[in-house]
Amino acid sequence: MKVQWYGQACFLFEGQGVRLVTDPPAGAMGYQLPEEEVDLATVSHDHSDHNNVNALHGAPAVINTPGVHEAKGLRVEGHSAFHDDVGGTQRGSNLLFVWEMDGVRVCHLGDLGHLLDTKALQDLGRIDMLLVPVGGVFTVDAGAAKQVVDQIAPRIVIPMHYKTPVLKMPLATVDQFLRLFQPGQVRREQWLAVEGANLPPSQEVIVLEYQVSAA
Protein backbone atom coordinates (compact mmCIF):
# COMPACT_ATOMS: atom_id res chain seq x y z
CA MET A 1 0.00 0.00 0.00
CA LYS A 2 1.32 3.41 -0.97
CA VAL A 3 0.22 6.49 0.99
CA GLN A 4 0.66 10.11 -0.16
CA TRP A 5 -0.52 13.30 1.55
CA TYR A 6 -2.17 16.06 -0.46
CA GLY A 7 -2.55 18.53 2.40
CA GLN A 8 -5.15 19.10 5.12
CA ALA A 9 -6.93 15.74 5.61
CA CYS A 10 -6.48 14.51 2.02
CA PHE A 11 -4.52 11.33 1.34
CA LEU A 12 -4.24 9.01 -1.63
CA PHE A 13 -4.10 5.31 -0.73
CA GLU A 14 -3.11 2.87 -3.48
CA GLY A 15 -3.35 -0.87 -2.87
CA GLN A 16 -5.17 -4.01 -3.94
CA GLY A 17 -5.74 -2.40 -7.34
CA VAL A 18 -7.75 0.42 -5.74
CA ARG A 19 -7.12 4.16 -5.37
CA LEU A 20 -8.89 5.73 -2.38
CA VAL A 21 -8.82 9.46 -1.58
CA THR A 22 -9.85 10.94 1.76
CA ASP A 23 -11.39 14.39 2.34
CA PRO A 24 -10.36 16.23 -0.87
CA PRO A 25 -10.04 19.99 -0.16
CA ALA A 26 -11.27 22.87 -2.31
CA GLY A 27 -8.69 24.51 -4.56
CA ALA A 28 -8.85 27.71 -2.54
CA MET A 29 -7.04 25.88 0.28
CA GLY A 30 -3.85 26.02 -1.78
CA TYR A 31 -3.33 22.26 -2.12
CA GLN A 32 -3.40 20.15 -5.28
CA LEU A 33 -5.48 17.02 -5.71
CA PRO A 34 -4.19 13.72 -7.13
CA GLU A 35 -3.88 13.64 -10.91
CA GLU A 36 -4.66 9.91 -11.06
CA GLU A 37 -8.14 8.54 -11.61
CA VAL A 38 -9.71 7.63 -8.27
CA ASP A 39 -11.96 4.67 -7.41
CA LEU A 40 -13.23 5.68 -3.95
CA ALA A 41 -13.50 8.90 -1.94
CA THR A 42 -14.37 9.22 1.74
CA VAL A 43 -15.78 12.49 3.11
CA SER A 44 -15.75 12.93 6.88
CA HIS A 45 -18.04 15.98 6.87
CA ASP A 46 -19.50 18.53 4.49
CA HIS A 47 -17.02 21.41 4.81
CA SER A 48 -15.23 22.82 1.76
CA ASP A 49 -11.76 21.76 2.90
CA HIS A 50 -12.93 18.12 3.01
CA ASN A 51 -15.68 17.54 0.41
CA ASN A 52 -14.34 18.55 -3.03
CA VAL A 53 -15.11 15.18 -4.63
CA ASN A 54 -16.27 16.75 -7.92
CA ALA A 55 -12.69 17.84 -8.63
CA LEU A 56 -11.32 14.30 -8.45
CA HIS A 57 -10.45 12.48 -11.67
CA GLY A 58 -12.44 9.42 -12.63
CA ALA A 59 -15.89 8.70 -11.25
CA PRO A 60 -15.17 7.66 -7.67
CA ALA A 61 -17.77 6.09 -5.44
CA VAL A 62 -18.30 8.55 -2.57
CA ILE A 63 -18.69 7.33 1.00
CA ASN A 64 -20.00 10.02 3.33
CA THR A 65 -22.39 8.23 5.70
CA PRO A 66 -21.97 6.02 8.76
CA GLY A 67 -22.26 2.27 8.47
CA VAL A 68 -20.50 -0.49 6.56
CA HIS A 69 -19.88 0.10 2.86
CA GLU A 70 -18.64 -2.42 0.29
CA ALA A 71 -17.07 -0.85 -2.80
CA LYS A 72 -14.33 -1.88 -5.22
CA GLY A 73 -13.58 -4.91 -3.07
CA LEU A 74 -12.96 -2.82 0.07
CA ARG A 75 -15.00 -2.83 3.24
CA VAL A 76 -15.13 0.75 4.55
CA GLU A 77 -16.65 1.45 7.97
CA GLY A 78 -18.00 4.90 8.83
CA HIS A 79 -18.24 5.65 12.56
CA SER A 80 -20.13 8.67 13.87
CA ALA A 81 -18.30 11.28 15.94
CA PHE A 82 -18.26 15.05 16.39
CA HIS A 83 -16.35 18.02 15.02
CA ASP A 84 -16.13 19.57 18.50
CA ASP A 85 -16.14 18.52 22.17
CA VAL A 86 -19.72 19.65 22.87
CA GLY A 87 -21.67 17.00 21.02
CA GLY A 88 -21.51 18.71 17.65
CA THR A 89 -23.38 21.82 18.76
CA GLN A 90 -20.60 24.13 17.52
CA ARG A 91 -19.31 22.50 14.33
CA GLY A 92 -21.56 19.53 13.67
CA SER A 93 -20.85 15.86 13.06
CA ASN A 94 -17.77 14.06 11.78
CA LEU A 95 -17.12 10.56 10.49
CA LEU A 96 -14.23 8.27 11.36
CA PHE A 97 -13.43 5.87 8.52
CA VAL A 98 -11.78 2.48 8.90
CA TRP A 99 -10.69 0.08 6.14
CA GLU A 100 -8.08 -2.59 5.55
CA MET A 101 -5.74 -2.46 2.56
CA ASP A 102 -2.80 -4.81 1.93
CA GLY A 103 -3.11 -6.16 5.45
CA VAL A 104 -2.98 -2.72 7.11
CA ARG A 105 -6.02 -1.58 9.07
CA VAL A 106 -6.29 2.19 8.58
CA CYS A 107 -8.30 4.76 10.53
CA HIS A 108 -8.86 8.32 9.25
CA LEU A 109 -10.24 10.58 12.00
CA GLY A 110 -11.45 13.44 9.79
CA ASP A 111 -11.93 16.60 11.84
CA LEU A 112 -12.29 14.85 15.19
CA GLY A 113 -12.95 17.35 17.97
CA HIS A 114 -12.94 15.19 21.10
CA LEU A 115 -11.44 12.19 22.88
CA LEU A 116 -13.00 8.79 22.22
CA ASP A 117 -15.16 6.92 24.70
CA THR A 118 -14.95 3.20 25.40
CA LYS A 119 -17.67 2.27 22.91
CA ALA A 120 -16.03 4.23 20.10
CA LEU A 121 -12.71 2.52 20.77
CA GLN A 122 -14.37 -0.89 20.75
CA ASP A 123 -16.17 -0.08 17.51
CA LEU A 124 -12.92 0.94 15.80
CA GLY A 125 -11.12 -2.21 16.88
CA ARG A 126 -7.46 -2.82 16.11
CA ILE A 127 -5.89 0.03 14.17
CA ASP A 128 -2.46 -0.26 12.52
CA MET A 129 -2.27 3.19 10.91
CA LEU A 130 -3.92 6.30 12.36
CA LEU A 131 -4.37 9.58 10.50
CA VAL A 132 -4.98 12.19 13.19
CA PRO A 133 -5.66 15.96 13.05
CA VAL A 134 -3.22 17.90 15.23
CA GLY A 135 -3.58 21.60 14.35
CA GLY A 136 -6.27 22.53 16.87
CA VAL A 137 -8.74 25.45 16.44
CA PHE A 138 -11.25 23.34 14.46
CA THR A 139 -10.16 19.90 15.74
CA VAL A 140 -8.35 18.37 18.68
CA ASP A 141 -5.11 20.18 19.44
CA ALA A 142 -1.68 18.58 19.81
CA GLY A 143 -2.23 17.46 23.40
CA ALA A 144 -5.64 15.94 22.77
CA ALA A 145 -4.38 14.34 19.55
CA LYS A 146 -1.64 12.63 21.55
CA GLN A 147 -4.28 11.37 23.99
CA VAL A 148 -6.28 9.92 21.09
CA VAL A 149 -3.12 8.25 19.78
CA ASP A 150 -2.56 6.73 23.23
CA GLN A 151 -6.19 5.55 23.31
CA ILE A 152 -5.95 3.79 19.93
CA ALA A 153 -2.28 2.70 20.13
CA PRO A 154 -1.54 2.26 16.41
CA ARG A 155 1.82 1.15 15.01
CA ILE A 156 1.93 4.10 12.58
CA VAL A 157 0.76 7.65 13.34
CA ILE A 158 0.43 10.16 10.50
CA PRO A 159 -0.42 13.74 11.56
CA MET A 160 -2.66 15.86 9.33
CA HIS A 161 -4.76 19.06 9.34
CA TYR A 162 -2.04 21.44 10.53
CA LYS A 163 -0.43 24.66 9.34
CA THR A 164 1.83 24.50 6.28
CA PRO A 165 3.38 27.27 4.16
CA VAL A 166 0.50 27.18 1.66
CA LEU A 167 -2.35 27.11 4.18
CA LYS A 168 -3.97 30.36 5.31
CA MET A 169 -6.14 28.82 8.04
CA PRO A 170 -4.99 29.72 11.60
CA LEU A 171 -3.89 26.23 12.61
CA ALA A 172 -0.89 25.22 14.70
CA THR A 173 2.06 23.60 12.97
CA VAL A 174 2.89 19.94 13.47
CA ASP A 175 5.81 20.77 15.78
CA GLN A 176 3.81 20.91 19.01
CA PHE A 177 2.49 17.42 18.34
CA LEU A 178 5.88 15.98 17.46
CA ARG A 179 7.40 17.28 20.71
CA LEU A 180 5.12 14.86 22.59
CA PHE A 181 7.02 11.87 21.17
CA GLN A 182 10.60 10.67 21.51
CA PRO A 183 12.82 11.98 18.68
CA GLY A 184 13.63 8.43 17.63
CA GLN A 185 9.94 7.74 17.00
CA VAL A 186 9.59 10.47 14.36
CA ARG A 187 10.66 10.40 10.72
CA ARG A 188 9.80 12.41 7.62
CA GLU A 189 9.02 10.91 4.24
CA GLN A 190 7.84 12.03 0.81
CA TRP A 191 5.44 9.10 0.78
CA LEU A 192 5.00 5.79 2.56
CA ALA A 193 4.85 2.18 1.39
CA VAL A 194 3.72 -0.40 3.94
CA GLU A 195 2.07 -3.80 4.19
CA GLY A 196 0.71 -5.76 7.12
CA ALA A 197 3.80 -7.98 7.06
CA ASN A 198 6.24 -5.08 7.52
CA LEU A 199 4.57 -2.85 10.08
CA PRO A 200 7.08 -1.31 12.51
CA PRO A 201 7.58 -3.31 15.72
CA SER A 202 6.91 -0.23 17.85
CA GLN A 203 5.00 2.99 17.27
CA GLU A 204 6.36 5.41 14.67
CA VAL A 205 5.19 8.92 13.78
CA ILE A 206 5.60 9.58 10.08
CA VAL A 207 5.34 13.15 8.82
CA LEU A 208 4.53 13.13 5.11
CA GLU A 209 5.38 15.99 2.76
CA TYR A 210 2.35 17.28 0.92
CA GLN A 211 2.38 16.46 -2.77
CA VAL A 212 2.91 19.17 -5.37
CA SER A 213 2.83 19.11 -9.15
CA ALA A 214 6.06 18.38 -10.98
CA ALA A 215 5.26 21.17 -13.46
Q: Is residue 52 part of a domain?
A: yes
pLDDT digits (tens, 9 = 90+) for 75-113: 999 999 877 676 766 676 899 999 999 999 999 999 999
The CATH number that applies at residue 32 is: 3.60.15.10
pLDDT bracket for residue 51 (50, 70, 90): confident
Position 49 pLDDT exceeds 80: no
Q: Which residues neighbour 21 within 8 Å (Cβ) at sequence distance 6 or greater? A: 6, 10, 11, 12, 13, 33, 34, 38, 40, 41, 42, 56, 60
Within a domain: residue 213? no
> How confident is the model at residue 178, as a pLDDT?
98
Strands (E), the chain: 2-5, 11-15, 18-22, 40-42, 61-63, 67-71, 74-82, 93-101, 104-108, 129-133, 156-160, 186-189, 192-193, 204-208
The pLDDT of residue 29 is above 60? yes
pLDDT in tens, 202-212: 999 999 999 87
| Number of domains comprising the chain | 1
Distance of CA 212 to the CA centre of its chain: 18
User: Strand 104-108 to strand 93-101: parallel, antiparallel, or no bridges (unpaired)?
Assistant: antiparallel
Residue 215 lies in a domain: no
Longest dimension (CA), the chain: 47
Q: Specify whether the backbone of 16 is left (phi greater than 0), alpha (psi in -120 to 50) or beta.
A: left
What lies within 8 Å, CB to CB, of 109 at 6+ separation is 44, 81, 96, 130, 131, 132, 133, 148
The band of 195, judged by pLDDT with boundaries at 50, 70 and 90, is very high
- Do the domain assignments include residue 19? yes
Q: Is residue 197 domain-resident?
A: yes
**What are the residues whose beta carbons fall under 8 Å from the beta carbon of 65, sequence distance 6 or more?**
78, 95
Domain assignment of residue 35, given as a range: 2-208
Is the pLDDT at 149 greater than 70? The verdict is yes
- Residue 214, in any domain of the structure: no
Task: Give the model's pLDDT for residue 48.
Answer: 65
Predicted TM-score (pTM) of the model is 0.94
